Amino acid sequence: MTDLNKLIEELNSELKKLYPDYNGVYFHGSRLKEKAQDDSDYDLVFIFNREIDWRFEEEIWRIVYNYDLKYNIIIDARIYSTTKIKSPLTPFKESVLSKSKYYAA
């Protein structure tokens, strides 16, 4: 089983070093609710203080993919700006903001 705190600490450290506007990550989904199967993915929502375009998303996905390989897991990564995570507030975003565990960078 993957040590979540170690995974988050490593991701936060790398992302903060590469992107000073990185704020942190929300951990949510079945693993947070302790309802996960052994092969369940890790649902992570990364927050940045910038507008997010597809090129930037792809950069982050490449970094995250290295952790998929390192830990032999699947990370479902979502990337949002500090403003877009709050507006428009969809059911998914509301769930992330209210029912997730936040790890500041």
Give residue 38's pLDDT. Answer: 75
Give residue 36's pLDDT. Answer: 65
Give residue 83's pLDDT. Answer: 97
Q: Average of pLDDT values for 9-31?
A: 95
Q: Tokens at residue 81, please?
A: 């700006």
* Superfamily for domain range 4-104: Beta Polymerase, domain 2 (3.30.460.10)
Q: How far, in Å, CA of 51 to CA of 60, rounded?
A: 14
Q: Average of pLDDT values for 24-38?
A: 81
For residue 64, give the nearest of 41, 92, 83, 81 by alpha carbon.
41
Phi-psi region of 40 (alpha: psi -120 to 50; beta: other; left: phi over 0): beta
Give residue 39's pLDDT. Answer: 74
pTM of the complete model = 0.93
Give residue 1's pLDDT. Answer: 54
pLDDT digits (tens, 9 = 90+) for 34-92: 776 777 899 999 999 999 999 999 999 999 999 999 999 999 999 999 999 999 999 99
Give residue 73's pLDDT. Answer: 93
Query: Cβ contacts of residue 19 below 8 Å, gap of 6+?
Result: 48
Tokens 């897991």 correspond to what residue? 73
